């Protein structure tokens, strides 16, 4: 009389364990990649919002007559003073544009300046200081009505420029974001100011 012995295996085989481990590893990697992509997207969105807020503030300050009056009278902005007031030498649309320090109505410098991702001024050597703001200017001399084509002369010839343009650039701080994956698209543009609209007291 023969007996049949039926045996059933309990637990998992080595192959099953390896397959499960591999699938778990792939799932973990996929989740990590998705989380990194989400974090990068959130960082870029936050930086864009901060950049746009800074640009808006720059425009408001540059169009504020009190702020420009304060800025023009600073020693480091003597080149702009010369163009607005018609003293010294002022070249027509000089290239490269001349440096300009923009002061707010509270007397604080608004450009050149560095900001962190939340829009607070910061030390440019800090890794968190990711946004850079720069300003420069050029002047457009008045047309030479005595010439045939009436083009502006090469210099304003001791007369106030017809207008000045403050050029702003907001981009990433290369010292802080070097080697990082988060990138901030630069934004720049001109802000035109007619010299006839300036406060007459600016040249006193």
Q: Supply the DSSP string of 125-177, one letter for each residue.
A: TSTT--EEEEEEEEEEPPP-TTSSS-PPPSB-TTS--SEEEEEEEEEE-HHHH
Tokens at residue 51, please?
């950049």
Which residue is associated with the tokens 């720059």? 58
Return the pLDDT at 189. Answer: 95
pTM, two decimal places: 0.75
The interaxial angle of helices 14-62 and 65-72, nearest 10 deg, is: 80
Return the pLDDT at 181. Answer: 52
Task: List the chain residues with pLDDT less than 70.
Answer: 1-12, 16-17, 29-43, 177-182
Return the pLDDT at 65. Answer: 87
Return the pLDDT at 178. Answer: 60
CB-based contact 168:58 (threshold 8 Å) = yes
Tokens at residue 148, please?
């045939």
Return the pLDDT at 197. Answer: 81
């Amino acid at each position: 009389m023969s007996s049949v012995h039926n045996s059933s295996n309990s637990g998992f085989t080595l192959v099953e364990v390896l397959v499960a481990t591999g699938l778990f590893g792939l799932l973990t990697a996929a989740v990590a990649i998705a989380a990194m992509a989400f974090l990068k997207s959130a960082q870029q969105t936050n930086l864009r919002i901060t950049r746009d807020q800074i640009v808006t503030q720059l425009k408001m300050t540059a169009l504020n007559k009190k702020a420009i009056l304060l800025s023009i009278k600073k020693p480091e902005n003597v080149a702009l003073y010369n163009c607005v007031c018609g003293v010294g030498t002022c070249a027509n649309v000089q290239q490269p544009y001349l440096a300009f320090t923009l002061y707010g109505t509270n007397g604080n410098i608004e450009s050149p300046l560095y900001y962190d991702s939340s829009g607070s001024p910061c030390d440019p050597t800090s890794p968190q200081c990711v946004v850079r703001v720069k300003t420069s200017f050029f002047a457009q001399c008045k047309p030479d009505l005595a010439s045939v084509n009436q083009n502006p002369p090469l210099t304003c010839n001791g007369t106030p420029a017809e207008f000045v343009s403050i050029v702003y650039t907001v981009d990433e701080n290369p010292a802080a974001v070097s080697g990082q994956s988060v990138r901030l698209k630069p934004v720049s543009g001109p802000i035109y100011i007619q010299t006839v609209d300036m406060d007459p007291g600016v040249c006193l």
